[in-house]
Amino acid sequence: MNPLDRVLSLSIWQGRAMVQPLGGGMTNVNFRVQGNIAGQRRDCVVRIGNDIGVHHVLRFNEMAASRAAHAAGVSPEVIHHEPGVLVIGYVEGRTLCADDFADPGMLDEATALVARVHRDMPQHLRGPAMVFWVFHVIRDYAATLSAAHSRHMPLIPLLLADAAQLEAAVGPIDMVYSHNDLLPANFLHDGRRLWLIDWDYAGFNSPLFDLGGLAANASLGTSAEVRLLTTYFGAPPDAGLWRRYRAMKAAAALREMMWSMVSEVTSDIDFDYVTYTGAAATRWHEARTALEDC
């Protein structure tokens, strides 16, 4: 059954539902649906997607994280779920882009929202919980690329050696519950406040991964990074924290690049992964150079 037919066949609709495709999904196919559910007119997002083992995406985990995120007040409600389908409330607002985070006020608001995720979501999480350790993911991606005879195979020894150096530089960590995919497009602003969506990769992790991932994906400059860390930790970063953060930022950029490399050979979603790999490689090189300058 194609994704559109799957949406229309859901038993929750009472009468005719109006469906509009939503672009931008890189691990799901998404639709905006307006229809009657349990006697109420609802505006929803329907996410169609199965488990993606090569990316460590398990839909039971996405659902549990989505429910905890709503309970913590950071994400819209879960309206319905069944295997391969998640229906959540639609947020009327705009999707952020990297340039939005150049505004100090928006960066502060996003940092506060991320801190709320880390602090509050574990209080609402139920059932089994996953760990997202970026260096394990990188090693697993390398094995997947080798098995698929990817065009990137000559780079694998270099990428694994770099990951080992970064893991040593990160050192011991604190652990929080993290989003682990802080692309600018996963932040929505409704005119009053920010929301955070798409919990495919949620799990326990170092807070530095979310902070470094946001900085890498939004191309933050050094002064914005200092502001990010100062706002999150309540004090300017010392030399040790600065280096650990920079190492995790480089690891986040490396994982994003390898995610796209793997998607090139495994995904059937209509998305230009080759171009995305190139852009992610630029962010990785920038983050790696910044760490070397510490």
> The CATH number of the domain where 51 resides is what?
3.30.200.20
Distance from the Cα of residue 112 to its chain's centroid: 17
pLDDT in tens, 223-274: 999 999 999 999 999 999 999 999 999 999 999 999 999 999 998 888 899 9
User: CA-to-CA distance for 267 and 271, rounded, in angstroms?
Assistant: 9
Contact 279, 26 (CB under 8 A): no
Tally the domains of the chain.
2
pLDDT band of 48, cuts 50, 70, 90: very high
pLDDT band of 24, cuts 50, 70, 90: low
Specify whether 113 is located in the same domain as 61.
no
Specify whether 80 is located in the same domain as 170.
no
Contact 29, 269 (CB under 8 A): yes
pLDDT in tens, 83-100: 999 999 999 999 999 999
**Which residues on adjacent β-strands are paired with residue 203?**
178
Contact 56, 46 (CB under 8 A): no
DSSP codes of every residue in 221-242: -HHHHHHHHHHHHSS---HHHH
Specify whether 151 is located in the same domain as 278.
yes
Reported as type and span, the H/E element at residue 217 is helix 207-217
End residue of a domain, out of 89, 122, 142: 89
Of residues 200, 288, 293, the one with CA closest to residue 248: 288
Structural domain for 33, as ranges: 3-89
Specify whether 13 is located in the same domain as 118.
no
Q: What is the pLDDT of residue 268?
A: 84
Phi, psi (deg, nearest 5) at residue 39: 80, 5
Distance from the Cα of residue 198 to its chain's centroid: 7
User: CA-to-CA distance for 263 and 27, rounded, in angstroms?
Assistant: 9
Indicate yes or no: pTM above 0.75.
yes
CATH number of residue 137's parent domain: 3.90.1200.10
pLDDT band of 294, cuts 50, 70, 90: low
Number of helices (H), then strands (E), belonging to the chain: the values are 9, 10
Residue 279 predicted with pLDDT over 80: yes
Token readout for 51 is 């488990």
User: CA-to-CA distance for 84 and 79, rounded, in angstroms?
Assistant: 14
Burial class (CB in 10 A: 0-12, 13-18, 19+), 61: buried
Contact 235, 152 (CB under 8 A): no
Contact 28, 43 (CB under 8 A): no
Specify whether 74 is located in the same domain as 137.
no
End residue of a domain, out of 59, 89, 119: 89
What percent of the chain stands above pLDDT 70?
A: 99
- The DSSP output letter for 125 is -
Reported as type and span, the H/E element at residue 34 is strand 29-37
